[in-house]
Amino acid sequence: MTAIYMNRELSWLKFNERVLEEAENKEVPLCERMNFVSIYQSNLDEFFMVRVGSLQDQMMVNKKIRDNKTKMTSEEQIKAILKEVRRLNKKKDAAYKDVMEQVREYGITLIDFNMAKSEEKKYLEQYFNHEILPLSSPTIVGKRQPFPFLKNEEIYAVVVLETRSGKERIGIIPCTNSMLERLIEIPGGKGRYMLSEDLILHYIGKVFKGYKVKGKSLIRVVRNADIDADALYDEDLDYREFMADLMKERKKLSPVRLDMSREIDETVVESLCRYLDVSSERVFRSEAPLDLSFVYKIQDLLRMNPELFYERRVPQKSASFRSGESILQQIREEDKLLSYPYESIRPFLNMLHEAAEDSSVISIKMTLYRLAKQSKVVEALCEAAENGKEVVVLVELRARFDEENNIRWSRMLEKAGCQIIYGLEGYKVHSKLCLITRKGEDGIEYITQIGTGNYNEKTARLYTDLSLMTANEQIGMDAARVFQALAKGETVEESDHLLVAPKCLQQNVIDMIEEEIVRSKNGEEAYIGLKLNSLTDKRIIDKLAEASCAGVKIDMIVRGISCLIPGIPGETENIRIISIVGRFLEHSRIYIFGCGERRKYYISSADFMTRNTVKRVEVAAPVYYQPIRERIQGIFDLMLSDNKKARQEGPDGRYTLVKCEGEPINSQEVLYQEAYDRAAQRNQG
């Protein structure tokens, strides 16, 4: 049955290739294409830091460990990854070159020293002498000067030096400095710029006077960032301070990749690999700059050309809410759904502020995973605590790469009087759950919010997510059980309405798939529809394949990793998988089971990955209110009909753009236009 499986890591690389294809797509505005090249690179860096780092750790522990689907060892996976990344990086270099050539037509040119005119060279030399040379911190590696520590993702200039006696030395200069402008503008008003690291590399001989320069290159190290906090934690330590120290340690982990800007003598490369303890197979040469984050400054220089960017879109007021009236009362009247980024997060924020000031509200309980740098959510929770409400906040300090941000917020919340819970031992809390408890006329009432994305105002403008707000008493009681369990450091053992991982989600999903299998075998119509970021859970994959064999029609919209290969005759022929990569990051999760009146709808924070279904606290919420059910179905159907940004996975595991037959449909643009139209109708009404 291995033919139906795709390796997780190679599937992720296919996703990043789809990102790169947007950089190559001539229909995408030029500055947005530039953006996709940078996203490809930052995605790849994180992939190496986390996934390749994890595989590297596995190899050190046990070289015989195999992927449970394709049976590849860690070593085999890394070899396949490195081979594929070399192919993709060539495409990245070509895409970058093409984009920058077109940028020149708009008056912006990024030059190297060979392109500089004589008067420009004079200016650049003066700039180097006065602005860069005084700040340089050179190192010559030798017996008395050990090889310096190279920081993760920072650029260094490396030079091969020859002494008067003929001996070779390696010299290194850091190129990343907060005091330096990365993009150096050359005077003259002609839109010509040079990267500071290229200037440093050109004049590096000025730093190492008395030596002959035999070779030079820019390098950049990407380090392992995979740390198991739970395995290292000692219960006698303060957990928050332990996590703060752990973040410092992560910056020192071993390299997993070495990027170089040009060819230099192989013996020097071997020396660098030896010093850094990285194999030569992990060395990548790049024609594009080693760090593409500077493209955002180039975009800023081109803002006066609106045709180079996507059409400006602003999250709209939700037509579901009436202005100037109590948000809590409107939710008590009927369930509400917000769809980001098409609709504004404002009603949710207003709900929190209203709850903070409402004398009938007893408590606000919330799980926080990733927050905005200037969080309005934290403001509302602090306000509630200062107003005497019971505010219980689970702050997940292990939200990868957001740990320091979350530590800062946890201190602020605690200072305001909130009760803070720092996650569970062995389980990350990834759920997006908020419970407001109030004393109503007829007793205790619950307002529950369940989301597919983080409580982050910034990403609510960039990611597609759903936020359900309901006064359903049963859902509220289930949410209360979740928070009771979290407060005791436990997980929910059973739940009546919510699907709560790690113990009450995976099996419930499998049971609902089984129900469709049984109905199909009985000659009834059976259907499963799933929208996910990733699909890797083998138990669920095998059950979906079984459902396909039983004749169940299955539609899946999977943005990123899919370890299930669809369309294989006799195995997965009734499964269709598409991936949509477009202007916004597809992030919402939707589960649909059944047909007609028996159809069930859920929105969730959980992908069908083992880490989500059995190793994290996740929540999936049923959708009972018919208008919202219809709206979710409409969103799902629209995305299935996308023929501009959708790519369909074939039985060979390859993704190809869906043929645009008939009316062009870009689902994200259609959803935004619908939000504008609903807002306009509401204003007219």
* Residues annotated catalytic, as ranges: 430
Pairing of strands 589-593, 600-604: antiparallel
Taking the mean position of all CA atoms in its chain, how far away is CA 20? 15
Helix axes 239-250, 403-416, angle to 10 degrees: 160
The CA distances from residue 36 to 30, 149, 286, 314, in Å, are: 10, 31, 17, 21
What is the C-alpha separation between 490 and 426, in angstroms, rounded? 10
Point out which residues pair with 235 in neighbouring strands.
none
What is the C-alpha separation between 638 and 636, in angstroms, rounded? 5
Helix axes 74-104, 30-47, angle to 10 degrees: 160
What is the C-alpha separation between 659 and 644, in angstroms, rounded? 8
Query: Do residues 340 and 464 make contact, with C-beta atoms less than 8 angstroms apart?
Result: yes
Helix H or strand E segment including 116: none
Point out which residues pair with 656 in neighbouring strands.
648
Measured in residues, the chain has a length of 685
CA atoms within 13 A on the CB side of 578: 22
Pairing of strands 361-368, 390-395: parallel
Look at residues 182, 155, 200 and name the one whose alpha carbon lies nearest to residue 294: 182
The first and second tokens of residue 515, run together, are 């129900």
Pairing of strands 463-470, 585-586: parallel
